[in-house]
Amino acid sequence: MDRCEVNQDTIIIRSLTKHFSNGVIAVDNLDVSMYKGQIFALLGHNGAGKTTTVNMMIGMLKPTSGNAYLLGHDITTNMS
C-alpha cells in the first residue's frame, strides 16, 4: 500500500481496471485513497467510469484487474 495501511477507517483503490468484452475500457488503473473524516466526490463527464467504479466497489461488477479495500475488506475476496 501507500502511506496509509489498510484499516477500518480507509477506502483504498489501487490500479482498479474494468475492460468489457466489447473492447470498452471503462476504468483504467484508478488509484484513490479516502480517509475517515474526509469529504470525497467522484466527478467526471458521461462515460468517465464513475458508475462502473461504484459498481465494482459494491460487488455488482468484478474488476478486470487491480483491487480495492473497503474499511479493511478486500473487494475481490471478501465482498460479503
* In-domain check, residue 51: yes
* In-domain check, residue 79: no
Whole-structure pTM value: 0.82
Residue 27 structural domain: 10-74
* In-domain check, residue 34: yes
Here the CATH number for the domain that contains residue 64 is 3.40.50.300
Q: Which residues of 3-16 are buried (b: 16+ CB within 10 A; e: fewer)?
A: eeebeeebbbbbeb
Q: Please list, in sequence order, all residues whose beta carbon lies within 8 angstroms of the beta carbon of residue 21, skipping any fewer than 6 positions away.
A: none
The 10s digit of each residue's pLDDT in 3-54 is 456 677 789 999 999 999 999 999 999 999 999 899 989 999 999 999 999 9
* In-domain check, residue 2: no
Quote the cell numbers at residue 38: 474526509
Number of domains in the chain: 1
What is the C-alpha end-to-end distance of the chain, expressed in Å?
22
The 10s digit of each residue's pLDDT in 49-75 is 999 999 999 889 999 999 999 888 888
